[in-house]
Amino acid sequence: MAELPTTTKGGLMAMPENFKPDKAAGASAVIQFKVTGAEPGNYYLEVKDGKCNATEGEHASPTLTINTPSDVWLKIMRRELDATTAFMSGQFTFTGDMGTLMQMGSWFEQ
């Protein structure tokens, strides 16, 4: 099992290490994270051709943009908070493709 992230940036940049290409077969998406709070920053994941890459910065045309406080997404990455529960209770918001949002949980190691 991978070590639990201690920072939001570290966790987001390490997401490719937990990527499950078999679960994302045929998927092509850019997932932008706009992080606020104690650890603000912009990051994006590119999922394409069975690969996942993490980049710091903003993508020109993401498939999905997740707007989240750093502490909320850190808890989600550490499996201390369920992403669906967090979304339904308004702890983070998104714009773009809801299908990608719903699928991405299965793309990364549980």
Residue 3 counted as domain residue: no
What number is the average pLDDT over the span 26-35?
97
State residue 1's pLDDT score. Answer: 46
Angle value at C-alpha 101, between 95 and 33, nearest 5 degrees: 60
State residue 2's pLDDT score. Answer: 59
| Domains of the chain: total | 1
Task: Name residue 47's amino acid.
Answer: V
The more confidently predicted of residues 108 and 72 is 72
Residue 79 counted as domain residue: yes
The rounded Cα 12 to chain-centroid distance in angstroms is 7
State pLDDT tens for residues 48-91. Answer: 999 999 999 999 999 999 999 999 999 999 999 999 999 999 99
CATH code, domain carrying 77: 3.30.1050.10
What number is the average pLDDT over the span 24-53?
96
Q: Lay out the sheet containing 29-36: strands in order across.
A: 51-56, 41-48, 29-36, 64-69, 93-96
Domain that holds residue 51: 8-105
Residue 1 counted as domain residue: no
Residue 39 counted as domain residue: yes
Cα gap 34→43, rounded to integer Å:
7
What number is the average pLDDT over the span 95-107?
94
**The tokens of 7 are what?**
């920072």
